[in-house]
Amino acid sequence: MSEGWRGNPFRVLQTLRQQLAAARDDLRAVRAMVEDLRGEVVSAKLQPLIAAGQLASRTRTAAAIPALVPPDETASASSFFERLEALQPEVYPVWRGLFDEGAAEYLRERSGSCSDRSNDYAEAFRGFLALSAEGRILDLGSGIFRRPSYLEGFAAERLAGVEPLDLAETPDFMVVQTTAEFLPWPDASFETVVAATSLDHVLDLDAALAEVRRVLAPGGCFVLWIASVPGSAAWDPACTEPMDRFHLFQFDSEWFEPRMEREFVLADRVVFPTPSFDHVFYRYERRDDSG
């Protein structure tokens, strides 16, 4: 063997390269098998929720649902930006840069949106929401392209949404241009509030959660879909270092769930693990004043 190494160094090197290439091919095959298995597991968890959403869409009625309360539309789109800046003057310029970057990306990548029907997680969230939602529904971050897929099947007269971006298409339900920190409805206006991958885009998480609780009727629920990124630092109102080019902060269930306990009570949770983060669906109930 030692003689072969001394006598044919280039042939030995070629052999080692071939073995390394074969090992890499084997590793790719193993990774593909693992990914296929993970996909089968995730699909097995997604499919019941997707089916539930489809069934609920066929059988849902709007009986005994109170009429929507009209919003206070005196505030303009520019004024909520001004109010956000007054709320967090140090952090606002950073947040606004992220907001503008996200707006441009949203227009470029419509098909990748979490509210698009091509997204299996959006379809699963549709089912989760169908099993959770009651009465009048407010969607935080309802998007700029008509109606998000997870709201399909609900009667338009029970839906309202808020969206800070300029609308690209006209929705078939009420949408007000504002942010979650400033909801222009009276107290207890909705039985359900929804936030589907939108809550990690707010400037002031405390203000947004306080507003959600305020507009929820007693016994109402807050239905969320978040990306839980392990190790993400807890939201800090003074932080001016973005987590990435779109987010001032990111969620980690380890800190997010204890934070939610101030205003809400956890009623249900479904987790879909992925290699880099978890999709987590929550149903929270409004905490009573005495709670």
What confidence category does residue 58 fall into, taking pLDDT thresholds of 50, 70 and 90? very low
pLDDT of 41 > 70? The answer is no
Q: What is the pLDDT of residue 111?
A: 52
The rounded distance, in Å, linking the Cα atoms of 255 and 253 is 5
Which SS3 state, helix, strand or coil, does residue 264 take?
Answer: strand
The CATH code for residues 44-286 is 3.40.50.150
| 240-254 pLDDT tens trace | 999 988 999 999 999
Place of tokens 């649902």: 65
Q: What is the pLDDT of residue 76?
A: 62
The rounded distance, in Å, linking the Cα atoms of 63 and 50 is 24
| 270-290 pLDDT tens trace | 999 988 999 999 999 999 875
pLDDT of 34 > 90? The answer is no
The rounded distance, in Å, linking the Cα atoms of 246 and 230 is 18
Q: Which residue has the higher pLDDT, 68 or 10?
A: 68
Domain assignments of the chain as residue spans, ordered by start: 44-286
The helix (run of H) or strand (run of E) holding residue 287 is: none
Is the pTM here over 0.85, yes or no? no
CA-atom Rg of the chain in angstroms: 24
